[in-house]
Amino acid sequence: MVASIAATTAGFRWAGITNSTIVALTFLTIVLFTAATRPLSTAVSASVLSMVSFNFFFLEPVGTLNIADPQNWVVLGAFLIVSLVASNLSSAARARAREAVEQRDAMTRLFDLGRDILIMTGGPQAMTRLTQVIARRLDLPYVAICQPTSESWTIAAAGRLPGEVPAAALDAAFAAARQRMEFDASTRTYAGHRTLDVGGAAVQLVPLRAGATALGLLAASGRDVERATLDALGGLVAIAIERARLLEDHRAAELARQGEALKSSLLASLGHDLRTPLTAIRVAAANLLLPMSDADRHEQAALVRSEVERLTRLFQNILEMARIDARAIAAEQRWVHADEIIEVARELVAPALAHHRVTVATDSSLVVKLDPRLTASALSHLLENAAQYSPAGSAIDVVARMHDGELTIAVLDRGPGIAVIDQPRLFERFYRGQSSGQHAGSGMGLSIARGLLAAEGGRVWAESRPEGGAIFTIAVPAATRSLEHAVES
């Protein structure tokens, strides 16, 4: 600014330009440019310096601050007044523009925060995540959501303070917020705002209200935020708290509904699946008391044993389901051959496979590292399902191979295939498909298989075969090595 005035003065003096109008307009242009780009104090200084330069170098008598011609007083006064008024107007316009930009930025931050709240899920860490979002959106070093409990306060915070916010101060602020809900028209904010000093840091407390109900307090520190913005922020946080509570209530209601549905399904399934084997055992036991040949006696004893094994399998499924629900399944990996896994799975459901031919195709040169117990148990449910839905005497093919770091075992049956309507719910608990009416079963097997595989990071899926039947495939992450290396180790 000083350099511009000095350069203009020197340039006019060197060029011999002494016309007061030209000089005054040039200086006025410099003052207006300064006012448009610099604070008001700088613009006023430019006005005074321009007036002095104009008087000293261009008004008679030149070289003094005296003014010989009275008309020059009018020119000089008009120049000073115009410069000061223009400087003030320009500074006010820039201040309004700056305020508009700040308000726009605040609205944008609040809008983004509202969008974040709408997509935010519930859970125990929901409030902590919300404070982190607020701190990031509003560039605040410390944000805390304080909610009262029966004995103290629950505080979810992002950032740290030099000290702790006193519980007594929170109690007093919350009590004031609950007593009155007044709107101050001059500041356009609600009553209840407080500022605390915590270890030298100024902490602003804002009531969180849902309608006329006070839910808690919002604490913010690090930079000064307009009270109107804090009120709007408090309203958004109150909405977030209410939404989190509604999500928790909805989740609890949904869990209760699912629990009741599972209980009903379990009772219905058990009632159906227990009735048949118990009836068969009772009839066979009664027959054993009657005179009969040794062949008939062996047949009745075999029937009892078969039904007892069926009951044992049913209760084993119930225990496995309970372990899955309790997340009490831990994977224990070890090196094993795929043939061993398939063999164990076949033994687990040997009675179900008694009337089927099982063909196995594996790579005999590789061993894999996984949990053979979980994998074999999951595979046994797929084999049992294949036997249940395949015609007696039909073949069941088992194909095992490594693919993309996973051991995949596919079970191919000759059953009716999978209906399109059943595909999305096939692995749901107690779900029995369209073609299951004539087949016994609790609907737990496929769900248990999925849960067992999930415990070791595996997965299962199903698809229909174009030539008829279905393919159930499991995939378990596994390391591999050659059989020769395994023997040497």
Return the domain boundaries, the chain.
2-99, 120-251, 264-323, 324-488
Which one of 63-67, 99-103, 273-277 scores highest in mean pLDDT?
Answer: 99-103
For the residues 106-118, what does the mean pLDDT come to?
72
Which pLDDT belongs to residue 358? Answer: 93
| pLDDT above 70: residue 74 | no
Q: How confident is the model at residue 489 (pLDDT cuts 50, 70, 90)?
A: very low
How many beta carbons lie within 10 A of that of residue 236, not counting itself? 20
Rounded to whole angstroms, how far apart are CA atoms 55 and 31?
Answer: 16
Q: What is the dihedral sign for C-alpha 211, 216, 222, 224?
A: positive
Strand 479-482, strand 366-370: pairing? antiparallel
User: Phi/psi zone of residue 474: left (φ > 0), alpha (ψ -120 to 50 degrees), beta?
Assistant: beta
Minimal CA–CA distance to 154: which of 128, 118, 186?
128
Tell me, yes or no, if the two domains 120-251 and 324-488 fold the same way. no
- The per-residue pLDDT of the chain, averaged, comes to 78
Which pLDDT belongs to residue 40? Answer: 63
Residue 136 or residue 404, greater confidence: 404
Q: Of 82-91, 209-218, 362-371, give the lowest mean pLDDT range.
A: 82-91
CA–CA distance from 486 to each of 208, 376, 456, 483 (Å)? 65, 21, 22, 5
* Tokens matching residue 231: 């009120």
The percent of residues in the chain predicted with pLDDT above 70, rounded, is 77
For 277-405, strand residue ranges (E) read 334-337, 357-361, 366-370, 395-403
Query: First vs last Cα of the chain: how many Å apart?
Result: 85
Question: CATH assignment of 120-251?
Answer: 3.30.450.40
Q: How far is CA 391 from the centre of its chain?
A: 47
CA–CA distance from 203 to each of 162, 163, 228 (Å)? 11, 11, 16
| pLDDT above 50: residue 440 | yes
For the residues 357-362, what does the mean pLDDT come to?
92
Which pLDDT belongs to residue 487? Answer: 44
361 - beta bridge partners?
A: 399
Q: 3-state SS of 202-240?
A: EEEEEEEEECCEEEEEEEEECCCCCHHHHHHHHHHHHHH
Q: How confident is the model at residue 261 (pLDDT cuts 50, 70, 90)?
A: low
Q: What is the pLDDT of residues 180-237, one digit of tens each?
A: 666 555 555 666 678 888 888 888 888 888 777 788 888 888 777 777 777 777 888 8
Rounded to whole angstroms, how far apart are CA atoms 329 and 454?
Answer: 10
- In CATH terms, 324-488 corresponds, of 3.20.20.80, 3.40.190.10, 3.40.50.300, 3.30.565.10, to 3.30.565.10
| pTM for the full predicted model | 0.48
Which one of 110-124, 174-188, 236-250, 390-404 scores highest in mean pLDDT?
Answer: 390-404
SS3 call for 300: helix
* Dihedral pair phi/psi, residue 398, rounded to 5°: -125, 120
* Dihedral pair phi/psi, residue 66, rounded to 5°: -80, 155
Q: What is the DSSP letter of 320?
A: H
For the residues 410-428, what does the mean pLDDT come to?
85
How many beta carbons lie within 10 A of that of residue 177, not counting itself? 24
Contacts of 407 (CB under 8 A, 6+ apart): 338, 368, 370, 375, 400, 401, 475, 476, 478
Q: How confident is the model at residue 352 (pLDDT cuts 50, 70, 90)?
A: confident
| pLDDT above 60: residue 96 | yes
For the residues 46-64, what does the mean pLDDT come to?
70
Question: In the Cβ-directed half-sphere of 75, how many Cα atoms lie within 13 Å?
Answer: 22
Rounded to whole angstroms, how far apart are CA atoms 184 and 214?
Answer: 18
Which pLDDT belongs to residue 488? Answer: 44
Q: What is the pLDDT of residues 372-410, one digit of tens each?
A: 988 998 999 899 889 988 888 899 999 999 988 999 999
| pLDDT above 80: residue 104 | no
Which pLDDT belongs to residue 265? Answer: 59
* Tokens matching residue 187: 């500041």
Q: What is the pLDDT of residues 294-343, one digit of tens each?
A: 888 888 888 888 788 777 777 776 777 777 767 777 788 999 998 999 99
CA–CA distance from 209 to each of 174, 204, 379, 392 (Å)? 11, 16, 56, 69
| pLDDT above 50: residue 422 | yes
